[in-house]
């Protein structure tokens, strides 16, 4: 059995490129409303890269210019405190020899001055470690009273104290930055003195003083400013160059795709898209090529559908008109047979229109299921009883089943599926006019098979027979029953019912179309 080759809506025509149809719409008109709007890809990329560059430059400027002095001082203070804590750990362990060597090591590696005093009382101290590595060290160039002042301040501050000093060359004295006179000093160098109290294992008090000179960073800031200006110009130029390169890499393939898409929108369905860009653009080209093929197929099928539907409509209309005129003009022709022919052709038209409406609803998703418990065995028997006229004309329609089955489904949709399969089988069965309908039940499904003894379907056609409007051959024959929209309705309805469908066939040996619905009896 072949699917209704004489009916345009039975299956879809093979893949092919359509011819341009300029009457449908103009792709240029459709796209012209968007053409010229918005910046080009190159300038958009340049803008994004320029913004990114500006953000990077602002971050560099903030950290290397604005906050450089503060960050530098924080690092120096943190470094002094870490060194002081390491030394106090050695004091607590009474490791004086290690204390001396470690103080010398830290002083040279971290550019520090170290002075450690053992406090015999609040006014007397013995020098334990003294390392002077910097010119103008505060802790080594102040008098004894100033050292005890630092001790008292550390005690009052909870055991540690951080102070900043500057040297006044006029008075040759050190002043704390908290003193008002610091605004009049001429030396930009600033010294940080960190004082920390410690105890040895015997509970003896120690005064640990570390001094580091903070070098002025104003010259460094000026250097960085100059560098940032140069870097900004280079980065902006590089951004423009990158934008040009990227736009050439991305926009040119897109422009070619856009030009081909306009041809496709104008009806040139044989247009093919080519791209040599990145993977995403190549995938887009493949998708557009697939869309072009499908649009060409739909255009071919549309024309074929119009031709075939016109044929199916014209034949019954011609017969109705002809027999009506005969009955009107010729005496004695108003016979029951002639009236029956008019009625049959009117029913054929009604069936065709109903099937077109049904498949439109199925394709649009507007068809709703009405589920109920259905004895499908009894329903099939009743449905096959409608073929009594064909049986009287010599057809044999046999129904075999293993047992009666009741399941939840939409009875009208289910019967419509089997009805279309039987109509298809009646159209293409062999000379013996035999059609066999079989119901079999498995563990989790019930299968309905419809078998004919016709010519079968070539293997290369099986992939497309369920598609809309496809025809195995191009000869449009008028079926004895049905409208020729059967297999498309079967496919759409079974998808909606949640079932499966298929065909078993070989050329010259007939075909068996089957459907299955889930069943747990």
Q: Which of 175, 194, 216 lies at the terminal end of a domain, its last residue? A: 216
Q: Last residue of some domain: 265, 297, 324?
A: 265
pLDDT in tens, 6-21: 333 333 333 333 333 3
| Overall pTM surpassing 0.75 (yes/no) | no
> Are 125 and 168 within one domain?
yes
pLDDT of residue 517: 94
Residues 163 and 60 in one domain: no
Q: Is residue 164 in a domain?
A: yes
Please state the φ and ψ torsions of residue 435, each to the nearest 5 degrees: -130, 125
CATH number at residue 431: 3.30.565.10
Quote the domain boundaries for residue 46.
27-64+222-265
Distances (CA, A) of 141 to 105, 134, 149, 294, 299: 21, 11, 14, 92, 99
DSSP 394: T
Whether 83 maps to a domain, the answer reads no
Does residue 257 form part of some domain?
yes
Contact partners, residue 506, CB within 8 Å, separation at least 6: 456
- pLDDT, tens digit (0-9, with 9 covering 90-100), for 440-472: 998 889 999 999 999 888 887 777 677 655 555
**Rounded mean pLDDT of 260-267?**
84
- At residue 240, the pLDDT reads 78
One domain, residues 464 and 412: yes
Answer yes or no: do 504 and 368 share one domain. yes
Domain assignment present for 414: yes
For residues 85-94, average pLDDT: 90
Do 209 and 226 share a domain, yes or no?
no
Is 153 contained in some domain?
Answer: yes
Element (H, E) at 165: strand 160-168
* Statement to judge: residues 362 and 460 lie in one domain: yes
Which residues fall within 8 angstroms of residue 104, CB to CB, at 6 or more apart?
114, 131
Domain stop point among 265, 296, 322: 265
What are 317-344's pLDDT values in tens digits?
888 888 888 888 888 888 888 888 888 8
Question: Do 413 and 483 fall into the same domain?
Answer: yes
230 in the same domain as 172: no
pLDDT digits (tens, 9 = 90+) for 147-197: 888 888 889 999 999 888 876 666 666 677 654 444 444 556 678 899 999
Give a yes or no: residue 379 inside a domain. Answer: yes
Residue with tokens 């503060």: 70
Does the pLDDT value for residue 276 go beyond 70?
yes
> Are residue 369 and residue 493 in the same domain, yes or no?
yes
Indicate whether 397 and 443 sit together in one domain: yes
Q: What is the pLDDT of residue 117?
A: 92
Asked if the model's pLDDT at residue 423 lies above 90, the reply is no
Structure confidence at residue 380 as a pLDDT band (50, 70, 90) = very high
Q: According to the model, what pLDDT value does residue 365 have?
A: 62
Residues 127, 247 share a domain: no
Q: How many domains does the chain have?
A: 3
Min mean pLDDT across 198-212, 332-346, 470-484 is at 470-484
Percent of the chain residues past pLDDT 70, beyond the cut: 79
Task: Tell me what pLDDT residue 22 has.
Answer: 35
CA distance 169 to 76: 24
Domain of 154, CATH number, reads 3.30.450
Of 85-94, 234-243, 383-392, which range is least confident? 234-243
User: Contact, 217 vs 72, CB < 8 A?
Assistant: yes
Specify the pLDDT at position 341.
84
Q: What is the DSSP string of 423-472?
A: HHHHHH--TT-EEEEEEEE-SSEEEEEEEE-S----GGGTTTTTSTT--S
Mean pLDDT (the chain, rounded): 79
d(C-alpha 436, C-alpha 422), whole Å: 9
Examine the domain organization and report whether 134 and 253 are in the same domain: no
pLDDT greater than 50 at residue 480: no
- Distance separating alpha carbons of residues 319 and 325, to the nearest angstrom: 10
């Amino acid at each position: 059995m072949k699917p209704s080759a004489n009916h345009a809506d039975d299956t879809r025509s093979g893949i092919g490129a359509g011819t341009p149809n300029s009457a449908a719409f103009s792709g240029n008109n459709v796209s012209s409303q968007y053409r010229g709007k918005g910046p080009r890809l190159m300038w958009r990329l340049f803008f994004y890269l320029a913004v990114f560059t500006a953000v990077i430059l602002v971050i560099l400027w903030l950290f290397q210019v604005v906050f450089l002095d503060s960050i530098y001082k924080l690092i120096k203070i943190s470094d002094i405190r870490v060194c002081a804590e390491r030394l106090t750990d050695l004091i607590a362990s009474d490791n004086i020899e290690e204390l001396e060597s470690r103080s010398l090591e830290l002083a040279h590696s971290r550019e520090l001055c170290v002075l450690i005093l053992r406090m015999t009382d609040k006014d007397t101290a013995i020098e334990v470690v003294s390392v002077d590595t910097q010119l103008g060290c505060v802790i080594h160039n102040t008098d004894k009273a100033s050292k005890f002042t630092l001790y008292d301040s550390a005690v009052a501050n909870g055991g540690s104290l951080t102070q900043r000093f500057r040297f006044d060359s006029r008075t040759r004295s050190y002043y704390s930055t908290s003193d008002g006179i610091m605004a009049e000093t001429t030396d930009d160098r600033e010294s940080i003195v960190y004082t920390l109290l410690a105890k040895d294992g015997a509970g003896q008090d120690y005064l640990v003083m570390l001094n580091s000179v903070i070098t002025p960073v104003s010259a460094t800031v000026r250097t960085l400013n100059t560098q940032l200006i140069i870097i900004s110009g280079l980065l902006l130029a590089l951004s423009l160059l990158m934008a040009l390169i990227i736009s050439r890499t991305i926009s040119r393939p897109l422009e070619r795709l856009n030009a081909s898409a306009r041809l496709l929108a104008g009806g040139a369905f044989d247009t093919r898209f080519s791209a040599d860009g990145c993977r995403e653009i190549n995938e887009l080209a493949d998708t557009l090529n697939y869309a072009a093929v499908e649009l060409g197929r739909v255009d071919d099928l549309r024309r074929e559908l119009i031709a075939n539907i016109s044929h199916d409509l014209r034949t019954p209309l011609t017969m109705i008109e002809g027999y009506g005129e005969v009955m009107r003009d010729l005496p004695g022709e108003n016979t029951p047979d002639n009236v029956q022919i008019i009625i049959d052709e009117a029913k054929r038209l009604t069936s065709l229109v109903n099937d077109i409406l049904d498949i439109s609803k199925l394709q649009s998703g507007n068809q709703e299921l009405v589920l109920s418990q259905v004895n499908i065995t009894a329903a099939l028997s009743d449905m096959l009883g409608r073929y009594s006229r064909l049986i009287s004309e010599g057809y044999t329609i046999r129904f075999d089943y293993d047992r009666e089955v009741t399941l939840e489904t939409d009875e009208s949709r289910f019967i419509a599926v089997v009805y279309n399969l039987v109509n298809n089988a009646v159209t293409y069965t062999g000379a013996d006019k035999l059609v066999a309908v079989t119901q079999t039940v498995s563990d989790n499904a019930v299968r309905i098979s419809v078998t004919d003894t016709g010519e079968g379907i070539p293997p290369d056609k099986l992939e497309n027979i369920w598609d809309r409007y496809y025809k195995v051959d191009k000869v449009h024959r008028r079926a004895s029953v049905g409208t020729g929209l059967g297999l498309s309705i079967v496919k759409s309805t079974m998808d909606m019912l949640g079932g499966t469908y298929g065909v078993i066939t070989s050329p010259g040996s007939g075909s068996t179309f089957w459907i299955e619905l889930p069943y747990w009896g």
